[in-house]
């Protein structure tokens, strides 16, 4: 993946997490079931954002993990 694509995925993941947190904080109506599993999707967006941050560090020349060779 290129740097612009990595930054775009990171931005979209952060924006989606923000929207999902906003949806999670809305008051619920009695007797109405939410059809979107916001908590699961928030965690998924955070995981994608962390993976993109690690990929961004490696694109910038950083090393992640232990390299013994």
What is the CB neighbour count within 10 angstroms for residue 20? 21
Convert the pLDDT of each residue in 13-68 to its tens digit.
Answer: 999 999 999 999 988 888 888 888 999 999 999 999 999 999 999 888 877 767 66
DSSP alpha helix (H) spans, the chain:
3-25, 38-59
Per-residue confidence (pLDDT) for residue 69, from 0 to 100 = 58
pTM of the predicted model, to two decimals?
0.80
Sketch the domain layout of the chain as residue ranges. Answer: 3-25+35-59
**If you search the block for the tokens 């612009």, which residue do you land on?**
4
Per-residue confidence (pLDDT) for residue 34, from 0 to 100 = 83
Per-residue confidence (pLDDT) for residue 68, from 0 to 100 = 65
């Amino acid at each position: 993946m290129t740097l612009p694509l990595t930054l775009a995925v990171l931005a979209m993941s952060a924006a989606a997490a923000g929207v999902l947190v906003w949806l999670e904080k809305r008051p619920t109506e009695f007797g109405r079931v939410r059809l979107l599993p916001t908590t699961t999707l928030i965690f998924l967006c955070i995981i994608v954002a962390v993976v993109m941050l690690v990929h961004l560090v490696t694109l910038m020349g950083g090393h992640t993990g232990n390299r013994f060779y």
